[in-house]
Structure 1
């Protein structure tokens, strides 16, 4: 009987942890250049109309490049911290 109570308590604890809300997202630290615009401590989605799209990521987070505006459509690439890349078909970049 004691073993069943311990298993049930463990299961309830795991479910509570899984259902707890995540903490607030912090902005990346540094600068992110998308096209011609540079963003300091960026967070969220940035759209450009400059092609090919050049992304320079001087932050501590990975930036994800999307094919459509507003970070919609397929993710077509990533730019790691302290790297740059050119995307012929990129339109927007997401970073948190």
Structure 2
């Protein structure tokens, strides 16, 4: 009886994991262009070593422009999908 219960518990746990959709696997669809460098299916933080910071958002997600390196500091601008901007004080961008 214990073996059957253990087997059913294992099957239930495996089914739960198989049906779960991990949020961390999601990336924006499209291309993010940061100072002329294109990133396909972007996700996370992208830095720049040049100013002004030029951002072209050709994705389906909002891009956040930060005034600090490594996506730190304050969000100083948003770049909506299908738009672009030049940010004089931007240092890095983040996209979900």
Q: Give the TM-score, by structure 2 length.
A: 0.74
Q: Give the TM-score, by structure 1 length.
A: 0.74
Match of 2:42 in 1: 42
Unaligned runs of 5+ in 1: 1-21
Structure with more of its chain in strand, by fraction: 1
Give the ranges of 4+ consecutive aligned residues of structure 1 lying more than 4 Å apart after TM superposition. Answer: none
Unaligned runs of 5+ in 2: 1-20
Separation (CA, whole Å) in 2 of partners of 1:75 and 1:83: 17
- Alignment deviations for residues 11-65 of structure 1 (CA, whole Å, 9 cap, x no partner): xxxxxxxxxxx94231000000111211000000000012111100000000000
